[in-house]
Homo-oligomer: A and B are copies of this chain.
Amino acid sequence: MIDEEICPADPWQVRETRLETSLLGPMESVFSLANGYLGLRGNLDEGEPYEISGTYLNSFYEQRPLPYPEGGYGYPEQGQTVVNVTDGKLVRLMVDDEQFHVERGVLLRHERVLDLRAGTLRRDVEWESPAGKRVTVRSRRLVSFTQRAVAAIAYEVEAGDQEVRITVQSCLAADEEQVKVSDDPRVAAALSDPLQAVEQDTEQHGAVLLHRTRRSGLLLAAGMDHIVEVDGDHREETDVREDWARTTVVTVLPPGGRLRIVKFLGYGWSTSRSTEALRDQVAAALNGARYAGWDGLVAEQRAYLDDFWDSADVEIDGDANLQQAVRFGLFHVLQAGARTERRAIPGKGLTGPGYDGHAFWDTEGYVLPLLMYTTPRAAADAIRWRHAILPEARDRARTLGLAGAAFPWRTIGGQECSAYWPAGTAALHLNAVIARAVDRYRLVTGDDTLERECGLEILVETARLWVSHGHHDASGVWHVDGVTGPDEYSAVADDNVFTNLMAARNLRAAADACHRHPELAARLGVSPEEPDVWRACAHAVHIPYDERLGVHSQSEGFTRYAAWDFPEKRPDDPLMMHAPYFQLYRRQVCKQADLVLAMHWCPDAFTDEQKARNVDYYERITVRDSSLSACTQAVMCAEVGHLETAHDYAWEAAMVDLRDLHGNTRDGLHIASLAGAWSAIVEGFGGLRECESGPVLSLAPRLPSGISRLRFNLRHSGVRLEVEADHEAVRLRLREGRMTLMLYGERVDVSAQEVVSRPVVPLEPALPPPRQPPGYAPRRS
C-alpha cells in the first residue's frame, strides 16, 4: 500500500521518499512519463529490479488469436495487445567491477520526484558498492511534449571520496522478458518476442534498431544518441546486434569527479512506410533533440506545461491529498492525450499493459470532458480518431445486422477486440457516448469546425445504428432491448435508462446537426425525412420508472429483481471474482453508477426529487468494482446535497493510483478515474453543467466542510474563465472577452473588466446522507 510516508502530500510533485520493492509495480505506473505518442514506465534506469518494464508507442500492437471453446457468429477472432517496444530507458552502471543494483550493496539514499510543472522524473541515489565505493547517481528523464517522438535522460554519476572506475552502458533492448499476460500458451506464444529484427544502424554516438511485429506486421524504429561530459579521459564505443545496441562509456573518476551522459531517444513506427523512411525519421527526431539539447528540451517542456496549467489548474485548500491528486490526475490525463494525434487514448494511457492497451468508452465519457475544457485540441484529435475508424465501425454494424456504425467496445486499431459479447458488443451505449462527446465539443468550444470536418458523420452513423437496433412496440413506444448499460453486473437488459436517454440524445443531436449543415447531411445520404425518424424515436423512448418505489428502474424489471445478499464483511475481491454472471445479472447489485450516471450526463431528464430518491436507492446497491464509478457518485451526491459523501467519493476517484485503491495500479494508471476526479471537483463541487439552449455553462459551487476554497479554470468558446469559491462566496474572473453563464440558475454576465462575486446559495438535501452496502462506504483517509 502506498501511503503518506512513502509518498507525502505535496501540491506540485509526487515524491517517493524511499524505495519499497513491494511497491515497484505501482510506482512504475505512477512515475510514467508520456506525451500521448510515446510512454515510458517509471522503471529504474538500470532496468532491474522491475515488475513490468514498459515502453509504449500509441497504437503499436501485436495481434493474437482469441480462442473460444464455444464460438458464435460475429465473435472477434483476433485480439490486439500493446507491445513493449524496444527499451531505450536502460542505463546500466558499473562501479569498479560491481554492477549497480539497489538490492546489492547499501542504498544510502533514494528519492524520486515526478515534477508536475517541469514534466520530468528526477531520481537521486547514493549508493555504496559491496566493495565500499560510494557514488551519487542523479538521473533526470523526460518524454517531450513538444517533440513527440523524443525522450531524453540526463544521467550523472559522481564519485564519492575514493577514485572509482565508472562504466556506463546505455542500451536499446528489444523483446525484453515480459510478465505473463495470459494462461493461454498460444496467446503467450504470440506475445513473447513479438518483435522481429529488420535492420540495425550504428551511428557515431548511438544506434538505430528496426523491428517488425510478427503478426500485425507493424514496423518499429528506435534510436539513441548520446552526449558525454566528463572531467578527464574517457572511452566510448557502440555495439549493435539484432535485438540490442549498447553505447559504453568508461572513465576513471577522481574523488568527487563527475560523469554526465545525456541520452536522447527517438521512436517511430508505421504500418506502410519503408524501412529507410522510418530510419531517417528517427534519425531526424534524434537530430532535433540533440539540436535542442537537454536544457532546451527541459525549457520547452516547462513552457508547454506552464501554458497547460495556466488554463487547467485546480486549487483546493483544506485537503492536501486531493490537491496533489487532482494535479497528478490532470498531468497524467495530459500525458495520455496531449499528442495522440488521431490515435486512441487507451484506458491506461501509455502507462502499462493493463486491458491489453485497449481504448474504451472511458475516453469520450471521462477523459474528453476534462480535455475539452483545458486542452481542446487534444479532445478534437481523439474525436478525429473515432472518425478515422468509422470504416471498421461500419463493418462491425453490418456484422451485427445493424445500420450505421457500431464502434468497438475495446480496441487499439479500430477492430472490435471484446471477446465476451454481453459485456462488449451489447454495451451499445458507447456509440451514444461518442456522439455526446462530438456534440459537447461544439458546445464547450463554441466551434463547429470539427462537427463539419468529421463530427456530423459520426452523429449520423450512430443515429442510424440506434434506429436499426431499437423498435416501436404496438402502442408506439420506442424500446432498446438486450443491451448492457454501464453496470456490467446487469448485462443484456431491456430499456436501460442510461442507454435509452443517451440514445435519444444521440438521435436529437444528429437531427440538430443535420439541420445546421443541410448540404453536408445530404452528402452523407441523409434524406430530408431521416432526421424526423430520429426525432420520433427519441421522442417515444421508454424510460422505466417504478411507481411503487418512486425511483427509476435501471432497466426494465431491475427494481423487481431479488436483492443481492451482501455479507457482513465486504469481500476482498470484486464480486465478479466469486460470483457467476448468471447470478449477478439478475440481482439488484451495481458494479458501478449506471442510473446515477444517466442523471449526471442527462440531468434534464430527471426532477430534483427523482435525483435525490434515485441517488438514495442506488447508493445502497452499488459496489464500485469499477474505478469509473466513484467520480460519478461524487458528482451526483454533491448535486443532491450530500457534500461530505461527495468529498469522500472525490477523494477515492482522485487517489485511485496514489493509494493503489484497486490493487492493480501496477498494470497502469486509471486515466478515466483520474479525469473523473476533475469531474468530481469541477462538476460536483463546482456544479458545472452544459445546457443545450441558452447560456451553455451553468455553475453552482458548493463546498464540503473539508475544502475551504476551490479555484478552477475553464476554457470556453475561446475565453478563459476562472472560478473561485469558498463557503461564502463565488468569484468569477474572465481573462479575455465576455460571456453569459448560469450561476445557481440565474443568468450572470462576466467580462474581463471585472470580477463577478456572488454569495453561495446553499442546498438543503431532501434526504439524509445515503448508505452503502456493508463495507462499501467511500474511503477517505
Binding site for B on A (CB under 8 A): 66-70, 72-74, 79, 184-186, 399-402, 418-423, 425-426, 471, 473-474, 479, 481-482, 491-492, 494, 548, 556-557, 560-562, 576-583, 585-586
Contact = CB atoms under 8 A, between A and B. Distances in A.
A421 to B, nearest CB: 6
B421 A582 contact: yes
26 contacts: A67-B184, A69-B184, A69-B419, A70-B420, A72-B420, A72-B581, A73-B579, A73-B581, A74-B582, A185-B186, A186-B186, A399-B580, A401-B580, A402-B583, A421-B580, A421-B582, A422-B422, A422-B492, A479-B560, A479-B562, A482-B586, A491-B492, A492-B492, A492-B585, A494-B586, A557-B557
Contacts of A548: 474
B583 A401 contact: yes
Nearest to A423: B70
A168 to B, nearest CB: 43
A326 to B, nearest CB: 33
A581 B579 CA distance: 23
Contact of A68 (B69, B481, B578, B582): B69
Q: DSSP class of A's interface residues: helix, strand, loop or mixed?
A: loop
A479 B588 CA distance: 14
Contacts of A74: 580, 582
A482 B401 CA distance: 25
Nearest to A557: B494
A667 B73 CA distance: 21
Contact of A481 (B419, B473, B481, B562): B562
A697 B120 CA distance: 86
Nearest to A182: B69
Given A73-B581, A74-B580, A492-B585, 20 more contacts: A66-B69, A67-B69, A68-B419, A69-B79, A69-B184, A69-B419, A70-B418, A70-B420, A72-B420, A72-B580, A73-B579, A184-B186, A422-B422, A425-B580, A426-B582, A473-B560, A474-B560, A479-B560, A491-B492, A492-B492
Sort A-B residue pairs by CB-CB distance and give the 9 closest, nearest first: A482-B586, A69-B419, A471-B562, A74-B580, A481-B586, A70-B420, A66-B69, A67-B67, A70-B419
Given A556-B557, A557-B494, A581 B421 contact: yes
Contacts of A580: 72-74, 399-401, 421, 425
A353 to B, nearest CB: 16
Nearest to A574: B73
A474 B563 CA distance: 11
A580 to B, nearest CB: 4
Nearest to A73: B580
A68 to B, nearest CB: 7
A561 to B, nearest CB: 6
A7 to B, nearest CB: 33
A578 B482 CA distance: 18
Contacts of A418: 70
A468 B445 CA distance: 54
A489 B92 CA distance: 60
Nearest to A402: B583
A623 to B, nearest CB: 15
A582 B425 contact: yes
Contacts of A420: 69-70, 72
Contacts of A482: 582, 585-586
Contacts of A581: 72-73, 421
B400 A582 contact: yes
A72 B576 contact: yes
A549 to B, nearest CB: 9
A476 to B, nearest CB: 12
A580 B76 CA distance: 11
A410 to B, nearest CB: 10
A177 to B, nearest CB: 23
Nearest to A399: B580
Contacts of A492: 422, 491-492, 585
A72 B400 CA distance: 24
Contacts of A425: 580, 582
A578 B494 contact: no
A583 B397 CA distance: 11
A491 B560 CA distance: 19
* From A399, A482, A548, A557, residue with most partner B Cβ within 10 Å: A482
A186 B561 CA distance: 41
Contacts of A67: 67-69, 184, 186
Contacts of A186: 67, 184-186
A47 to B, nearest CB: 32
A402 to B, nearest CB: 8
Contacts of A184: 67, 69, 186
* From A418, A479, A581, residue with most partner B Cβ within 10 Å: A581
A400 B560 contact: no
A527 to B, nearest CB: 21
B69 A577 contact: no
A418 B400 CA distance: 24
